[in-house]
């Protein structure tokens, strides 16, 4: 029987990572074994690369990585894979910043790949965005942004998130896509319209010559919906949202219970 490699796609938060932000020993062991047997393992996350790199290195990956929910796709180990960077047009970002200023929010954060721009001088925002030691610039985004950003994030108290999202949907829906981060972060993430993890995953699968039926993808949140739907085997974590579980091919144990390892051991006979 001819060996057919699979592409294993991992969301980070709430999926690969336990609630302590670590990869469990069992899940790590299974993923390393999968790679040793010739399968591909990749990460697809809403995080920037700088906040994904420790886990990419821990798993010894050499595959392309999808960051910012598909807005940035590159291979940190091999520049023969053509980098794909799809930012939001700067004029649209300025319109969004101006229109959101009438709402209650804590900060608006723009990221250009691994550089961070904070609209307000609010140290509450810094904890989330300093991983990987990025360059941080503070000041009015309409003045400080030097180029179109990869992503725009609106940080607000939980009770204000719904009204801001409703406004974005009614005013800017044709030019942006928005997602809500899971707890404990009350953040609305904005990328260019039409972008999601499945866009990046499709590019990587084509590059590796892996058909959709041999893609096994794992996720837990609404930014995983398109990816789980795209994959031949879309797996929702036990801690995932109901909307994701409803479209998944399979539901596994939670991120704290080696849900990834269980599926891979069974499906790939590891």
pLDDT, mean of residues 21-49: 97
pLDDT tens digits along 132-163: 888 899 999 999 999 999 999 998 888 888 89
The confidence score (pLDDT) of residue 183 equals 64
As a CATH number, domain 90-192 is 3.30.1240.10
The predicted model scores a pTM of: 0.92
Which sequence spans correspond to the domains of the chain?
A: 7-85+195-267, 90-192
pLDDT tens digits along 218-228: 999 989 999 99
pLDDT, mean of residues 196-200: 96
Residues known to be catalytic? 11
Q: Which DSSP string corresponds to the chain?
A: ------EEEE-IIIIIS-TTS---HHHHHHHHHHHHTT-EEEEB-SS-GGGTHHHHHHTT--S-EEEGGGTEEE-TT-TTSPPEE-PPPHHHHHHHHHHHTTS--SEEEEEETTEEEESS--GGGHHHH-TT--EEEES-HHHH--S--SEEEEE--HHHHHHHHHHHHHHHTTTEEEEEPPTT--EEEEEETT--HHHHHHHHHHHHT--GGGEEEEE-SGGGHHHHHHSSEEEE-TTS-HHHHHH-SEE---TTTTHHHHHHHHHS--
Q: Which fold has domain 7-85+195-267?
A: Rossmann fold (3.40.50)
């Amino acid at each position: 029987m001819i060996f057919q490699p699979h592409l294993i796609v991992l969301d980070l938060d709430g999926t690969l990572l336990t609630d302590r932000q670590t990869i469990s020993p069992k899940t790590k062991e299974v993923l390393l074994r999968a790679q040793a047997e010739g399968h591909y393992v990749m990460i697809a996350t809403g995080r920037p690369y700088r906040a994904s790199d420790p886990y990419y290195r821990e798993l010894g990956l050499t595959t392309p990585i999808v960051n910012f929910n598909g807005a940035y796709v590159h291979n940190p180990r091999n520049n023969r894979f053509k980098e794909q960077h799809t930012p939001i047009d700067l004029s649209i970002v300025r319109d969004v910043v101006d229109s959101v200023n009438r709402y209650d929010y804590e900060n608006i954060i723009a990221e250009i790949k691994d550089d961070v721009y904070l609209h307000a001088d609010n140290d509450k925002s810094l904890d989330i965005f300093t991983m990987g030691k990025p360059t941080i610039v503070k000041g009015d985004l309409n003045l400080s942004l030097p180029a179109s950003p990869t992503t725009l994030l609106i940080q607000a108290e939980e009770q204000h998130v719904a009204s801001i999202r409703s406004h974005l949907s009614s005013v800017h829906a044709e030019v942006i896509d928005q997602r809500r981060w899971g707890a404990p972060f009350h953040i609305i993430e904005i990328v260019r319209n039409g972008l999601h993890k499945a866009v990046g995953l499709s590019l990587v699968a084509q590059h590796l010559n892996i058909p959709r039926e041999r893609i096994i993808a794992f996720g837990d949140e609404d930014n995983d919906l398109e990816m789980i739907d795209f994959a031949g085997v879309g797996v929702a974590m036990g801690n995932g949202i109901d909307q994701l579980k409803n479209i998944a091919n399979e539901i596994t144990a939670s991120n704290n219970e080696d849900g990834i390892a269980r599926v891979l051991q069974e499906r790939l006979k590891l």
